[in-house]
Amino acid sequence: MEREQYLAAVQPRMPEKRYIHTIGVMETAIDLAQRYGEDVKKAETVAILHDIAKYADIAWMEQIVRDEELDARLIGWGSELLHGPVGAYIAESEFGITDEDMLNAIRFHTTGRVGMSRLEKILFVADMIEPNRQFDGVERLRKKAQKDLDKAVRACIRHTLAFLIDTKRPIYPVSLECYNDVMSVE
């Protein structure tokens, strides 16, 4: 499928603001793919699809988790944690994507995971630094992403964990494993 077809498929499934975010992630992921030698078309496609499940019905998503035997720990965590794994399910079942690296990029774009591939890192970082994101420190993350992908991943994960703790939210086990993984190098 071409870019315009994917975009047309995701647009009606999300509010305007999320669609604008999606375009920003797409542009950023393409830029990072070119910079770090990743397949540009794969980066473009996973970026367009990454938040496709963000506004899906929670009961439906939890049913997918049960039916497809996804990580059972997802039950009860809401859309924030469900939309990555369910998005990967939609990418495969509805759009026929079979490339496991692409599916993993969508699946783990919220939490990260231990041993992320280059494509997974690109989507993870692009999601956080795309031009419409505004938070303290985002400019520093953007600069890092231009210089060193692994350092950018590390800084993004640290930022997310700090944000979760500051806002008194529980940390999903996969996010914590990912944090421990990136903090144990260097």
* 63 in Cβ contact with 166 (< 8 Å): no
Region of 28-36, 138-146, 151-159, 171-179 interacting with ligand DGI (CB under 6 A): 171-179
- Cα dist. 35→19, 28, 40, 148, 163 in Å? 24, 11, 10, 10, 28
Position 127 contacts Fe ion (CB under 5 A)? yes
Residues 14-43 that bind ligand DGI (CB under 6 A): 21
CA distance linking residue 124 with residue 105, whole number of Å: 8
- Write out the two tokens for 128: 């956080």
Helix (H, G, I), strand (E, B) or coil at 39: coil
Q: Which of 61, 111, 152, 153 binds ligand DGI (CB under 6 A)?
A: 111
58 forms part of the interface with ligand DGI (CB under 6 A): no
Residue 164 interacts with ligand DGI (CB under 6 A): yes or no: yes
Nearest approach, Cβ of 57 to ligand DGI (angstroms)? 16
Q: How far is the CB of 113 from ligand DGI (least distance, A)?
A: 11
| Type of residue found at 32 | L
Name the CA radius of gyration of the chain, rounded: 15
The answer to whether the beta carbons of residues 125 and 149 sit under 8 Å apart is: yes
Q: Which segment (6-14, 66-74, 97-105, 170-178) binds ligand DGI by CB under 6 A?
A: 170-178
Torsion of CA 152, 138, 88, 10, to 10 degrees: -140
* 57 sits near ligand DGI (criterion: CB under 6 A): no
Burial of 135 (0-12, 13-18, 19+ CB in 10 A): exposed
Q: Does 120 bind Fe ion (CB under 5 A)?
A: no
The one-letter amino acid at 104: N
Kindly indicate which of the ranges 30-38, 96-104, 135-143, 165-173 contains the residues binding ligand DGI, using the contact rule CB under 6 A.
Answer: 165-173
Nearer to ligand DGI, 60 or 135 (CB): 135
The one among 57, 80, 100, 139 contacting ligand DGI by CB under 6 A: 80
- In the complex, the residues that contact ligand DGI under the rule CB under 6 A are 21, 51, 54, 80, 109-111, 127, 160, 164, 169-172, 175
